Structure 1
Amino acid sequence: MDDFLIFRPDDVDLSQSPLRRGVDEPTFVLGAFNPGFARLPSGNLIMMVRVAEALSEPLRNEHMHSIRWTEGGYILDPHPASDLDFDDPRQCQLRGNANRLLTLTSLSWLLPVEVTPDGRAIVAVHYDRAIAPSASFQDYGIEDARISLIDGIYYMTTCAVSPERHCTTLYTSRNGLDYDLQGIVLDHQNKDMVLFEGRVGGKFMALTRPLGEVYFAYPPDSPYAGGPSIHVAQSPDALHWKPLDAPGIRARKGSASAGKVGGGSQPILTEQGWLLIYHGVEPQQTVGIYRSFWALLDADDPSRILRLEDDEPLLEANAALTADLTDRMYLPAPVVFTTGVVDAGDHYIVASGEADLACRITLLPKARFA
């Protein structure tokens, strides 16, 4: 297995950030990570990198300031620090509300980074094609792109964050670099949506992962752990989605993913079925330990799980990769978050976010999935 970081926080030129349209205060890159990943028509690879940009001094005059997009530009919202809980470095929780309300410590936008066909070197960073908030449902940013190439069109899902809703949006592109926003495709708190890279029975298919405030317990003798799980949905047009009736991939009791599971790479069709890499979370402290696992779904009926490898992780956080970034680390637990895979002949090129900090490339021989 060949493992390396390809893009880091210091590789982002903030002078070209879209936040310069309104934010004059100094900012820094909290993380450049979780890249959507696909092969371009040229043969090069594209990483759609999530750039989490934060204020260097958010706490001023006893108020925590958060960045918000508006039609007139980016502005700063002051929240009384005395009303906030700071348990998670990525967000703050407002106290004294009937519902759990959060404000973010950064605003995320997407930066296209073009890479050589082997995934080893950066060709270009396309600041002129950066994707930034452009609608009120994206007020607090755009997160965690996933890209699937289907019938010559690139379909990119993202998570949009705002006071209105926490939803999934869809972008499309003919060339993999220039994307048009198609709007919201899944409503509140349905994260980690990623389209299968191909249709099944003429229909688009996607992994989804709805979140909620309440989950119901499985029977005591069930192998499954209740909580966030991966579901499968179908659509005639990639815009209107119906969940399949059968459950998808569920966290299992006693496994390293007992906390929750969620989609990772776009499912790709192999001779054995749909191959996907997903993430599982082991509860620990505030964030938990994130690892990558893999599964095979039936080619004709993706609700059928043919193989589920959740005992031995495919990828785990690698401290050696971020050894020279220890002063930038802010998460209390190890995290690797896979977001894309590309076929490279005898091996796969896998893109992940490492420590919510940088973009990691892993070259995995196909024999690893035998």
Structure 2
Amino acid sequence: MILHDALIFTPDDVDLARSPLAGRIDAETYVLGAFNPGLTRLPSGNLLLMVRVAEALKHPVRDQHIHAIRWEAGRYRLDPWPIGQVDPSDPRKFTMRQAGWRVMALTSLSWLLPVELSPDGRRVEAVHYAHALAPGAPYECYGIEDARISRIGNLWYMTVCAVSPERHCTVLYTSDDALHWQRQGIVLDHQNKDMLLFEGLIEGRFWAQTRPLGDLYFAYPPDSTWRAGPAINLASSPDALHWKPCDHPGLRPHAATLHTARMGGGAPPVLTDQGWLSLWHGVEPAGVAGIYRTYWSLLDAAEPWRVLRTEHDPLITPNPALTEPLKDRMYLENIVFTTGIVDAGDHYLVASGEADLACRMTWIDKRAFG
């Protein structure tokens, strides 16, 4: 049961004069999106969103070339690509026209902006530009995306997707206050996205949901309950740095519906009296990006590969009414991408990216998971 739903932070709320790129790039930029926020509670009781700001070139095409922003050795550069060599049909990226495998570059560079909210999540208290996270290693040169934050013991653990020509990987940051973050480096290698740490240890070990991608999947038998494709796997670790994939499968697409033909992690799993509550996204193939919805499952507290319950009706669906005031900024639709959850007593606060554009907060009665 959704109690309340609102956009809490939008591109208009970002001050690009305080961006990590400000004064360091010879081009005019704008905020393509401020979305997909990690969510946690600060020691003060206030909430923290770690917002992905996708900063894009206002005029990417000049002199018959399309440009990409790239960080290199402390500087931001503009890489020119002949317009005839790329396919720019997707507003988020352009694909190289070449034989063989798919190669792309991004139309924006993403960095992370800490936004402090009131304890109830209804108003912005502060925007911490001084603590913004921008690319700082070669494997982050095209940006840092889609933070997920888990508090485990006295530390906060944040996973991000780092993008570069070297690899498309998961990088771990840690903090003792959720504002000052230390980069710990790569923890999952190429094209393993949507890594979320469970908010708590299981028999002394860290556990995480992962989502490796590939160009090939082997078919299940024709009468199987499952559908082959991107799914949510599990891994465990003694220290959150070195991960062993779980031998058991995790959450898999069901053959009976196309609404979840592709799956990926959403919010870090939180422990309830019934087990681990996992919010995840399912993607129905459609259009350029597909239709993204949020679903939920309950996982066994001691054996998280055992799925106790999965709800096949979506918990959160795209809400065009929320983005109506921003319709002139829209470039995608039919997307809600959940990235965070915190306990608020009799309800949960759930943070999502809406339409790859803005940060959405949803208040959900705990009885929805009964």
- Asked if Structure 1 and Structure 2 have the same fold, meaning a TM-score greater than 0.5 normalized by the shorter chain, the answer is yes
1:35 alignment partner AA: P
Q: Which residue of 1 aligns with 2:42?
A: 40
CA contact (8 A) 1:21 1:74 kept: no
In 1, distance between residues paired with 2:29 and 2:15?
Answer: 11
Q: Which residue of 1 aligns with 2:26?
A: 24
CA contact (8 A) 1:251 1:257 kept: no
- Report SS of the residue matched to 2:139: helix
- Report SS of the residue matched to 2:321: coil
2:41 is aligned with 1:62: no
Q: Which residue of 1 aligns with 2:313?
A: 312
Could you give the per-residue CA deviations for residues 100-152 of structure 1, whole angstroms, max 9, x where no partner exists? 10010100000000000000000100000000000000010000000000001
1:149 alignment partner AA: R
1:67 alignment partner AA: I
Tell me how far 1:249 sits from its aligned partner. Answer: 0.5
CA contact (8 A) 1:259 1:281 kept: yes
1:160 alignment partner AA: A
CA contact (8 A) 2:53 2:113 kept: yes
In 2, distance between residues paired with 1:287 and 1:100?
Answer: 16
CA 1:173–1:272 in structure 2 vs 1: closer, same or farther (change >3 Å)?
Answer: same
2:334 alignment partner AA: P
In 1, distance between residues paired with 2:207 and 2:72?
Answer: 33
Out of 122, 125, 138, which is 1:123 matched to?
125
Tell me how far 1:253 sits from its aligned partner. Answer: 1.9
2:322 is aligned with 1:355: no
Could you give the per-residue CA deviations for residues 337-359 of structure 1, whole angstroms, max 9, x where no partner exists? 00000000000000000000000
CA RMSD of aligned residues (A): 0.8
Bigger drift between 354-363 and 82-91 goes to 82-91
Tell me how far 1:256 sits from its aligned partner. Answer: 4.8
State how many pairs are aligned.
368
Could you give the per-residue CA deviations for residues 190-216 of structure 1, whole angstroms, max 9, x where no partner exists? 000000000001000000000001111
TM-score by length of 2: 0.98
CA contact (8 A) 1:173 1:180 kept: yes
Q: Which residue of 2 aligns with 1:265?
A: 267
Tell me how far 1:97 sits from its aligned partner. Answer: 4.1
In 2, distance between residues paired with 1:210 and 1:353?
Answer: 21
Could you list the runs of 5+ residues in structure 2 that have no partner in the other structure?
none
CA contact (8 A) 2:135 2:144 kept: yes
Residues 325-344 of structure 1: pairs in structure 2 closer than 5 A: 325-331=326-332, 333-344=333-344
1:328 alignment partner AA: R
Q: Which residue of 2 aligns with 1:283?
A: 285
Bigger drift between 88-97 and 268-277 goes to 88-97
Could you give the per-residue CA deviations for residues 74-100 of structure 1, whole angstroms, max 9, x where no partner exists? 010000110001231101100114321
Tell me how far 1:21 sits from its aligned partner. Answer: 4.9
Q: Which residue of 2 aligns with 1:5?
A: 7
In 2, distance between residues paired with 1:258 and 1:274?
Answer: 20
Identity of aligned residues (%): 61
CA contact (8 A) 1:256 1:280 kept: no
Out of 279, 296, 299, which is 1:297 matched to?
299
Q: Which residue of 2 aligns with 1:322?
A: 323
Q: Which residue of 1 aligns with 2:222?
A: 220
CA contact (8 A) 2:229 2:262 kept: yes
CA contact (8 A) 1:190 1:209 kept: yes
TM-score by length of 1: 0.98
CA 1:256–1:220 in structure 2 vs 1: closer, same or farther (change >3 Å)?
Answer: closer
Bigger drift between 131-140 and 79-88 goes to 79-88
